[in-house]
Structure formats: C-alpha cells, structure tokens
Amino acid sequence: QEEEEESPITRFQQYLRIKTAHPNPDYESAVSLLTSQAQSIGLQAQTLEFAPGKPLVLVTWPGTNPSLPSILLNSHIDSVPAEPSNWLYPPFSATRTSEGKIYARGSQDDKCIGIQYLEAIRNLRFSHNFKPLRTIHISYVPDEEIGGVDGSAKFAASEEFKDLNVGFMLDEGQASTTDEFRVFYADRWPMRLIIKAVGLPGHGSRMYDNTAMENLMKSMEVISQFRGNQFDLVKAGLAASSEVISVNPVYLKAGSPSPTGFVMNVQPSEAEAGFDIRLPPTAEPDLLKKRIADEWAPATKNMTFQIREGGPMRDYMGRPLITAANDSNPWWCIFKQAIIAAGGKLAKPEMLASTSDARFMRQLGIPTLGFSPMIETPILIHEHNEFLKDSVFLKGIKVYESIISSLSSFDGGNTFGSATA
C-alpha cells in the first residue's frame, strides 16, 4: 500500500491511534505526538506535570500584545475505555470508511478539537499570515474522564496557570444532530451518593420488618419516584435534560446468590446502592441533602449515606458558576459572530448534562464556553462505534480559524469586568 501523505486527517488519525483509554492511558506517546505537531507549526510546547505520570502539554502562540489577557483552548488527552468486540472496527484503529467516517474512541470526545486547534493555527499562520494580538494557549490535560483531580483541577490552581493570565477559554462541547452548532455555558455538578441499609439477618422463608433489603428497596422506590418526576419535566418539554437533577443507580451490592453453598435462604444484614447524581447550577444542594437524609436514607430505617460532591475531589468548590451567554459578555458576542462569519448557525446555548473541566476555570471567574464543532453528527460520546466524519472534522478547522482569529484580535479585554455571574 502506498504511503498516505500527511494531512489534517492523517494527523488526526495518528492521535486517535494512541491508546489513551483508562485505566492505563498512554500519556507519554500522546505528549510526544502533540509536542511534535505543535513544533511542526513553529509553536512552543512545554510539558507540565502536576501529578507523577500525568503530564499536561501547553502550547503557546505569543500575541503581539502579550500584556492582554490570553485565550486558552483546552481539551483532554484521556478517553473512556472501549469494548472492541462491540465495535465495527478496532477502537484505536481510526479506520476511515468509504463514506468518510473515522471510527475511534476519542474521535468525538475529544481528540477532534485537540487537533483542530492546531490545524486552524497552522492555516492561520501559513495560509493567512495571521498574527494574533492576544497570546493563544492550547492545553492538553490528563484525567478529565476520571474527574480532573490530577489534571485540570491542579492546573487551574497552579502558579503556571495564573501566569497565563487567561481572559477567555474554550473547552469541549458535544455533537449536534441538526445543522446548528451547540454551545455550553455551564456544566452540571456531579454528586456521588452511596446509601447503606443494615438490619437483622434471618431465614429466607421468614417475613419480618426492617430487613436491610426491604429498607433499601423502599428507598430505591422513593428515589425512583423523584427521578421520574424530574424526567417528566424533560418529557413534557418544560426543561432540558441538563436543567433537571438526574439520579441514576450505578451499582447495587447486597447478599449472595449462594450464602449457604447451594440454597439462597439467608436475608442479608447489609445492602448498599450507589447513585450518579448531577445538579444544574440553579439547584439547591442543601435541599437535596435534606431530602436524602429525610427520605432516601432515613436513620429511622437504619440507613446511612455518604455524599461526595464535585466529582472525586477533596474539597467542594462552592456553587458552580455559569458563563453569560448573552450580549452582556463581549466574548460571547465575538464567539457568536465568528461562527456566523464561518457560515455556521448557532443553537440556543445550553448547560452541559455531564461534567467537563470547564468547571474549574469558571470557578476562577474565567468566562468559558464548551464547544465542539460537529453538526449533523450522532452523539456518540462514551458509546460503541464512536466516529466522526472527515468532512465534519475539516469544516471544524475552518470554524476554529474564524473563532481563533476573532478572539485573539479582540482588543477590549481589559476594560470590562468578569463575564461570569
């Protein structure tokens, strides 16, 4: 087979072929690939390491006025795992079909944007001879998929980050099934809930009150009711799915299928369930906590619970902040105009149903939008057979050329206040 010439698509495929899936992401290979791609367009790339074995690549294109707050373009290096037996093509093969679909874990989430940032800059620099007024940084962070504790959280808290003087940031978004690009101005807040019930064990044939299983099952019913009510708001069209509180059971642990060896005749003394909860920034966490204590895991039923907020993080970061997606925020206006200038349409701004690294930067007061330029594309993040069409990928580069040139040319950044509320 003849060797394919280097192109934006082949550079995307090279990145997709690096196995960056948890639990053992190959960060080292990704760092060396990203560094060499950045250097090939004459950009400086440095590697920072805030936790051992978890490198972060920071690429910089200096502006002509480096005293202005900079633009940060973020993406994460890591991916969720893939089950190869459920895929049409091996998940790290980056196979391109005759229809132009490029199959790979990470093709939508979010290696596409990582390469598009660089390709857009490559074109601005070499085809358009563009010179940015503001400095542009690109960050490639580890560990987003597992909560960002050793990635974006530490990066955002670092001296190095402070020195970047970031005025505006773009992070990942989600594909759009229509012809309108989607943009996200807030993330839902993750909360991890574990509820436990204890009770007296007993013979499998006996009916008695307050077994651990019975009390856990009753709690599950109450929680399920709450979940149903939230979901009904979505089904009735009264709220977007990212605007309600989601509660989904993710594990159950109790008893044994063969406690006595062959017969299932022991009612267990402990039962436990885990839930993934996401709260929109508008929700009142204290109200939910009270509900959990009173109704979902009542002490009167020998139940206890544990909550971990903000994902797997040591400290709760306070209430999540949102970025103004309206004309009060000049960055928003520039962003919107740049999409239109690139011939694109923008959907009504949304909250992200899941959670991204953008939350760490919003907490610092940095206006941050979630955006991945993929229209007419099925949403396949974390699913089997994740793919992105080559034409969509290439169009995304054009969109970023418009966005990056507009944002980095904006000269009024020191004169307005924080664009977060």
Ligand X SMILES: CSCC[C@H](NC=O)C(=O)O
Q: Which is nearer to Zn ion, 176 or 267 (CB)?
A: 176
Tell me which residue has tokens 């004169």: 415
Stretch that binds ligand X, among 139-147, 245-253, 267-275, 366-374 (CB under 6 A): 139-147
Fill in the amino acid letter for 277: I
Q: Answer yes or no: 376 catalytic.
A: no
Q: Is 109 in the site for Zn ion (CB under 5 A)?
A: yes
Q: Nearest distance from residue 110's CB to Zn ion, in Å?
A: 4
Closest CB 421 distance from Zn ion, rounded Å: 25
> Considering the rule CB under 5 A, would residue 110 count as an interface residue with Zn ion?
yes
- 203 known member of a binding site: no
- Please say which residue, 60 or 246, places its beta carbon nearer to ligand X: 246
Six-digit token pair at 206?
A: 């006996």
Q: Is 76 marked within a binding site?
A: yes
Q: Is 180 annotated as contributing to ligand binding?
A: no
Nearest residue (CB) to ligand X, 20 versus 355: 355
Quote the CA–CA distance of 135 and 277 in Å, as a whole number: 38
Among Zn ion, ligand X, none, the one that 69 touches (CB under a kind-dependent 5 to 8 A) is none
Q: Where are the alpha helices (DSSP H) in 249-296?
A: 285-291
- Of 190, 298, 370, 413, the residue at the interface with ligand X (CB under 6 A) is 190
Residues 172 and 148 sit within 8 Å (Cβ to Cβ): no
Q: How far is the C-alpha of 293 from the C-alpha of 303, rounded, in Å?
A: 9
Rg, Å, the chain Cα set: 24
Task: Identify which of 145, 151, 146, 149 has the alpha carbon closest to the alpha carbon of residue 313.
Answer: 149
Q: Which residues pair with 187 in a beta bridge?
A: 352
Reduced to 3 states (helix: H, G, I; strand: E, B; else coil), residue 200 is: coil
Map the footprint of Zn ion across residues 264-323, applying CB under 5 A.
none
Strand partners, 356: none
Choose among 43, 49, 61: nearest CA to 135: 61
Residues touching ligand X: how many (CB under 6 A)?
7
Interaction partner, residue 274 (ligand X, Zn ion, none; CB < 5-8 Å by kind): none
**Shortest gap between Cβ of 379 and Zn ion (angstroms)?**
11
Among 311, 333, 385, 409, binds ligand X (CB under 6 A): 311
Which is nearer to ligand X, 144 or 171 (by Cβ)?
A: 144
For residue 8, give every residue at least 6 positions away whose Cβ sits within 8 Å of its Cβ, in sequence order, or none.
115, 119, 393, 394, 397
Q: Which helix (H) or strand (E) holds 136?
A: strand 136-141
355 forms part of the interface with ligand X (CB under 6 A): yes
3 state SS of 193: strand
Residue 327 falls in the annotated catalytic set: no
Distance (Å, whole) CA 81 – CA 20: 9
Among residues 142, 147, 280, 298, the one that binds ligand X under rule CB under 6 A: 147
Residue 147's binding partner out of Zn ion, ligand X, none, with CB under 5 to 8 Å set by partner kind: ligand X
159 is in an annotated binding site: no
> Whole-angstrom Cα distance, residue 216 to residue 213?
5
User: Does the annotation place 3 within a ligand binding site?
Assistant: no
Question: Which residue in 110, 119, 143, 144 is the catalytic one?
Answer: 144
Beta-strand ranges (E) seen in 255-323 are 266-267, 270-279, 303-309
Q: Which of residues 159-218 bind Zn ion (CB under 5 A)?
A: 172
Helix (H) or strand (E) holding 13: helix 8-16
Is 337 a residue that touches ligand X (CB under 6 A)? Answer: no
Q: Which of 78, 119, 171, 187 is catalytic?
A: 78
Q: Is 298 in the site for ligand X (CB under 6 A)?
A: no
Q: Which residues bind ligand X (CB under 6 A)?
A: 144-145, 147, 190, 311, 354-355
- Can you say which residues are annotated as belonging to the binding site for Zn(2+)? 76, 109, 145, 172, 382
Could you give the residue numbers annotated as active site?
78, 144
